[in-house]
Amino acid sequence: MEEFLKIENQIKQDPFIEGPEETTEEVREELRKKVKEYYRTNDISEDLIEQFIIHNDQVEYFVDRFSEKEGFNEKEKEIALLTAIFHDITKGSEDFLNHGEGGGLITKEILIDMGISEELAESVKLGIERHMGQEGYPTDLAKKKYGDDFEYPKYATEVGKMVFECDILTQLTKKGFNKILLLREIDKENRKEDEVVAFEKNITREEAAVLSVLKSAKKSYDLIKNRFIKKCAEELYEEIKKEY
Ligand SMILES: [Fe+2]
Ligand SMILES: [Fe+2]
């Protein structure tokens, strides 16, 4: 718990960096491979690794799509893309609730190893540490575990905000929505919750699960502030509401 709070109190702003891009598309392809290799060093199934990679690609796709629209310069876009590629690198390897902090550290090591500058590596690390969010899932879980006043380190820059919003935007895509439904289905506690709601509302457990995921999708939608990402979120949310 103290570990988490330390980050927030240390540095509020990303180091200000400018200058030419350091990474080409070829280098970024190498970096994506590094993430996959890292997943393979942990005891997780190839199926799960595939799921993680689909998610990372989706976040990166959104960052790429919205960076210029939301007014980013090339350097900001580079930091945001690298943050997207690495943001969930430790998701399968340690305490899930800690994967922002753990991911930031390991990413910085990998980037420096690959010859990326300290400044850029540090910016990416900060972005990853701050991608967990302040509301909704998994903050609710973290509050249960660490106490009601627990908070993840807040994003302090537009880059952090962009990656955070693109990450939650994936929950509003059909793929993301179905993944969360599946996760609910295999979680004992969630299933119990859905059974209670199903009984109260006289609906099936599956319908109760959809209602619950729709509610958290709405929560995610409400958290998005960037104009163009918001517009996209609105369209995706309307589609999901119609579909389920
Ligand atoms: Fe994450
Ligand atoms: Fe993510």
| Residues 35-46: tens digit of each pLDDT | 999 999 988 899
Q: Are residues 76 and 180 in the same domain?
A: no
Ligand 2 centre distance from Cα of residue 221 (Å): 15
Q: Given a cut of 70, is residue 95 above it in pLDDT? A: yes
Average pLDDT over every residue of 141-157: 86
Q: Given a cut of 50, is residue 182 above it in pLDDT? A: yes
Average pLDDT over every residue of 193-219: 94
68-94: per-residue pLDDT in tens? 999 999 999 999 999 999 999 999 887
SS3 142: helix
Tokens coding 153: 């380190």
Ligand 2 centre distance from Cα of residue 32 (Å): 14
Find the ligand nearest to 55 CA. 2
Ligand 2 centre distance from Cα of residue 241 (Å): 22
Ligand 1 centre distance from Cα of residue 133 (Å): 9
* Domains identified in the chain, total number: 2
Is residue 190 in a domain? yes
- Determine the structural domain holding residue 244 and report its residue range: 173-244
Q: Which of 123, 157, 191 is the last residue of a domain?
A: 157
Compute the mean pLDDT over every residue in the chain, rounded to the nearest whole number. 89
**DSSP 3-state percent helix, strand, coil across the chain (nearest 5):** 70, 0, 30
Q: Are residues 188 and 98 in the same domain?
A: no
Ligand 1 centre distance from Cα of residue 97 (Å): 9
Average pLDDT over every residue of 106-125: 95
Q: Given a cut of 50, is residue 7 above it in pLDDT? A: no
Ligand 2 centre distance from Cα of residue 207 (Å): 26
Torsion angle of the four alpha carbons 120, 123, 128, 131, in this order, in degrees rounded to the nearest 10: -140
Other Cβ atoms within 10 Å of 6 Cβ, number: 11
Average pLDDT over every residue of 142-150: 91
Ligand 2 centre distance from Cα of residue 87 (Å): 6
For residue 14, the model assigns a pLDDT of 60
Q: Are residues 179 and 233 in the same domain?
A: yes
Q: Given a cut of 70, is residue 145 above it in pLDDT? A: yes
Q: Given a cut of 50, is residue 214 above it in pLDDT? A: yes
For residue 136, the model assigns a pLDDT of 77
Q: Are residues 40 and 152 in the same domain?
A: yes
Average pLDDT over every residue of 143-160: 86
pLDDT more than 90, % of the chain: 65
Find the ligand nearest to 52 CA. 2
Q: Given a cut of 70, is residue 102 above it in pLDDT? A: yes
Ligand 1 centre distance from Cα of residue 43 (Å): 18
For residue 15, the model assigns a pLDDT of 64
Please, what is the angle between helix 188-201 and helix 174-186, to 10°? 100
What end-to-end distance do the CA atoms of the chain give, in Å? 38
Q: Are residues 94 and 11 in the same domain?
A: yes
Is residue 167 in a domain? no
